[in-house]
Structure 1
Amino acid sequence: MLNFTSPLFFVALALVACGLYILPGRWRAAYLLVLSYGFYAMVSVRFLALMVAGSLLAYGIGIGIANARSDSARVRLMLLGVGGLLGGIVVFKIGGAWHGWLLPLGLSYYSFKLISYVIEVYWDEDSVERDLTLFLSYPAFFPQIISGPIQRSEPYFQQVRALAARRLDSAQIEEGFRLIVTGLMLKLLVGDRLATLIAGVDAAPGSFGRIDLLVTIAGYTLQLYADFAGYTNIALGIGKMLGIDGPPNFNAPFLATNIQEMWRRWHMSLTTWLTDYLFIPLTMTMRRYGLAGLLLCITINMALIGVWHGFTLNYLIFGLMHAVYFSLTMLYLRYISPPRGKKAPPEPRLRRIVRTAFGMVLTFALMSSTQIFFHSARFDQAIGILRQVFGLIPSGARSIGDIGPGAAETFVICALITVWAGCGAPGARRLSDRIAPVAPRWLQYGVGLFLLATLTPDSAGSFVYGQF
């Protein structure tokens, strides 16, 4: 498979983008479908057949719902479609966790797309898509197949239809190129370096001191963000070049002052998907039980986020930890936190700054604590790290600097860059405006490509979320 970080892939992408705009408009949807199926077939023709089968199931269910003459028939068809698509995820997740099956590329992502389509048609039969070629290209759209983001059907269909009449837009191509370059830099120059250093600690965590282990735990969150946000930028940039705007997946998550806000800023396409299709319907069903029902809904929602990553005890604990943090945050904001808004008394500036900074640090610490279970391959490994952190077993004498020459300095630099990026890259726009008169954009991009060519590690790591 052509990797999203390989130079060969981007040579092919340039040719693909040119081919798209050369073709007559009526062939462009079919062109995207052929490209996406071709990309997937390079991984596995057998798993491509699975995606086609799921797509045809959703397409047929959608037509059936739109043509159904009774509400009961529509409900049965909706449940059949959602159940069939969820069943495929469950079977392969169980097989992967318990029998080592290879998970089909993008199974969760394209299945969630198709499930949302079926539900949307059930809610509004006018949203049904009858153009088979256009429909099949939706779940298969190759920039989003590895790790999302999870795009909704209607915006995609509208954009592909509009694409038929569009001409090559230089501003759109430049914006796509900028997203790709920044994504590659975040992934290759920062995320992969952090991953290499963290792997050095993972090889023998018991030999490292407690402080270095705590720093490494924080590094789990930083590395995951650099990797996943880097991939998201690349995916959005590729889509942009092909005339398709995908949904944002991150919005400065390290500015969050509580776990609720963190989840509104982190993996946003998954969070909003679960909110719309699971959490809100569930809370409506459980509203008669008041606060207990709401807490149960939060627990179910976050537990499912955990096991969505994999049917293992570690991922379940990861989700349940977030459920506890989320619930405590909700209770604090509802019953303890000072009132806010127009009627609330003004808060002194220094107190507001301290409260905000404390909230950001605490939120990051809580997020990182859950990453112990997310990152560890086995339950006993995660427990061993926790026992060492809490002083229940002796710590070692090694430090991150012992991994290799310049390891500690590299870790600090990469961590600072990731925090800066995760806070929305404050000041970047002003810096760009000041640089622009001296260094035109083509030169800025050239410097970025030069850094990628000279500083990228010898072997780029795979995307973390590619396994889900």
Structure 2
Amino acid sequence: MVFSSSLFLFYFLPGFLLLYLLAPTRLKNAVALVASLLFYAWGGLNFLALFLASVVLNFSLIRLMDAAVDWQKRIYLTVSILLNVGMLFYFKYANFFLENLSEVKSAVGGEALHWRQVVLPIGISFFTFEKLTYSIDVYRGVNKPLRSFWDFLLYIMLFPKMIAGPIVRFQEIAGQLQDRSAFDTVDQKLAGLFRFGLGLAKKVLIANALGQEADRIFGLAPADVSAPLAWLGAVAYTFQIYFDFSGYSDMAIGLGRLMGFQFPENFNNPYISRSITEFWQRWHITLGRWMRDYLYIPLGGNRVKPARLYLNLWTVFLLSGFWHGAAWNFIAWGAYHGLFLILDRLFLLRLSRRLGVLSIVPTFLITMVGWVLFRAESLSAALTFIGRMFSAEWPRVLPDLSREFWATLGLASVCAFMAALPPVERWEMNWLTAEPMPLRRAVGLGLLTAVLLVLSASYVISGSFNPFIYFRF
């Protein structure tokens, strides 16, 4: 079940909100937990028992760790990490390694392997990171472990963030699991509803329209893809993945606000970045911070010699690419971004400072080529597509695409780049953070929310193309 589906919008969400808002304070966590279990079971019932068993084991291990002495703490932490990483490795990467091993055996004259394909549980990449952050934060003494197993289960399973983030660290939400009264206001609920409506509109009105054309172009035979058509496909996907994923994050953050939770921001206008370093400070922010604090810094961070620092950067982004998907094109995508992060430190940051605002253009182009690696079905297909982008075949007539596509592409461009103007950046945050909210602003926000919800709901009812890119991660 995804947020932009008819089932969620017209049945699950209204029913849940009615029960949650009417429930007394002491029962709100119970209502949220039952709803989260139903939400996950709808698409992942076969894995629910395994998922719950892993949560029970994690909770028990961390309680034991908290009561143990130093050397025992490390043992319990290690077991917890191995349990979580082992589950992720098996379900997400077993097929990848077996396929590659089979190909190697066949290449040297051996018999190909035969195995039953491992099915990927929904949201495993995201809730694995959250279980890890709980274990590590308790070990580091950042937070005490939760006393209630049900609160811990709610932290892991809270449905707005469970499938595709944001990746919420334990320390960011620990207090809110037991007391959300500070955020349980009418202004917060109105801001949350607007944020949900904004995210839904980004997803269904922009991402879906562009995604349909991107899928068609990437599905063509290479001989049928001219250079301008390849660039249009890359541009369409570049905007699709941003409005799709940031739209989902907006919806998750908005739903959290409706419930009294404050989730961290996950996107901050990434396509106005002036370097790849800045891009990763603005794109999938919670993943970037997780990688920095739980992987990059433990490897030595910036405290090591330059050669080791560059190796650390590349290692982190190779793993980031592999986290996104078990395929060589994702690994290549991670290596590609790691390379430009290293080049930033060597000389590109100095060059971008000289270019000023113009450095947005080369950064966007670098990012767009990288998204081809991310989107293609395989590494060879990605390289072929990139080859078509840079080929000399430029016909005199532009590809014949629909007016809806061109209009949506124009709207996406304006929305993605207008934040380069200082008064515009994070305008919605300025609107939503003022509390108490002035009456005129509250009325305007309510009307705008209603328009966004009606337009988006109309599209969901009438449209049939409604994928969600990060659902498979």
Which TM-score bucket, shorter chain as reference?
0.7 to 0.9
Instruction: Give the distance between the partners of 1:202 and 1:35, measured in 2 at CA.
Output: 38
Correspondence for 2:119: 102
Do residues 384 (structure 1) and 384 (structure 2) align?
Answer: yes
Correspondence for 2:38: 38
Unaligned runs of 5+ in 2: 100-115, 433-439
Correspondence for 1:65: 65
Q: 1:449 to 1:46 in 2, by over 3 A?
A: closer
Instruction: Give the distance between the partners of 1:168 and 1:19, measured in 2 at CA.
Output: 15
- 1:238 equivalent among 250, 255, 260: 255
Shift of 1:443: 2.8
Correspondence for 2:85: 86
Do residues 324 (structure 1) and 359 (structure 2) align?
Answer: no
Instruction: Give the distance between the partners of 1:183 and 1:137, measured in 2 at CA.
Output: 23
Matching of residues 241-256 of structure 1 within 5 Å: 241-256=258-273
Correspondence for 2:424: 426
Instruction: Give the distance between the partners of 1:230 and 1:455, measured in 2 at CA.
Output: 15
Q: 1:81 to 1:185 in 2, by over 3 A?
A: same
Correspondence for 1:4: 3
Shift of 1:428: 8.2
Correspondence for 2:470: 465
Q: 1:199 to 1:419 in 2, by over 3 A?
A: farther
Count of residues in correspondence between the two structures: 445
Matching of residues 110-125 of structure 1 within 5 Å: 110-124=127-141
Instruction: Give the distance between the partners of 1:438 and 1:119, measured in 2 at CA.
Output: 41
Q: Which amino acid aligns with 1:161?
A: Q
Of all paired residues, the percent bearing the same amino acid is 27
Do residues 448 (structure 1) and 420 (structure 2) align?
Answer: no
Once the two structures are superposed, residues 238-268 of structure 1 have per-residue CA deviations (whole angstroms, 9 ceiling, x without a partner) of 1111111111101121221111111011000
Correspondence for 1:346: none
Correspondence for 2:213: 197
Do residues 226 (structure 1) and 243 (structure 2) align?
Answer: yes
Q: 1:113 to 1:427 in 2, by over 3 A?
A: closer
Shift of 1:405: 5.5
Shift of 1:277: 0.4
The answer to whether the 8 A contact 1:188-1:460 is kept is no
**TM-score between both structures, scaled by the size of structure 1:** 0.87
Do residues 174 (structure 1) and 187 (structure 2) align?
Answer: no
Matching of residues 5-404 of structure 1 within 5 Å: 5-11=4-10, 12-69=12-69, 71-97=70-96, 98=99, 100-124=117-141, 127-163=144-180, 169-204=185-220, 205-283=222-300, 287=303, 290-332=305-347, 337=350, 355-391=355-391, 395=393, 397=395, 401-404=399-402
Q: 1:167 to 1:202 in 2, by over 3 A?
A: closer
Once the two structures are superposed, residues 74-130 of structure 1 have per-residue CA deviations (whole angstroms, 9 ceiling, x without a partner) of 111111111110111111112354465331111011110000111111111752112
Q: Which amino acid aligns with 2:314?
A: T
Deviation larger for 82-91 or 438-447: 438-447
Deviation larger for 117-126 or 90-99: 90-99
Instruction: Give the distance between the partners of 1:167 and 1:432, measured in 2 at CA.
Output: 16
Instruction: Give the distance between the partners of 1:148 and 1:437, measured in 2 at CA.
Output: 29
The answer to whether the 8 A contact 2:256-2:262 is kept is yes
**TM-score between both structures, scaled by the size of structure 2:** 0.86
Deviation larger for 438-447 or 11-20: 438-447
Shift of 1:357: 2.3
**CA RMSD of the aligned region, Å?**
3.0
Once the two structures are superposed, residues 414-464 of structure 1 have per-residue CA deviations (whole angstroms, 9 ceiling, x without a partner) of 33334447989927849989xx68984333233223322445561242211
The answer to whether the 8 A contact 1:207-1:398 is kept is no
Shift of 1:15: 3.2
Shift of 1:155: 2.6
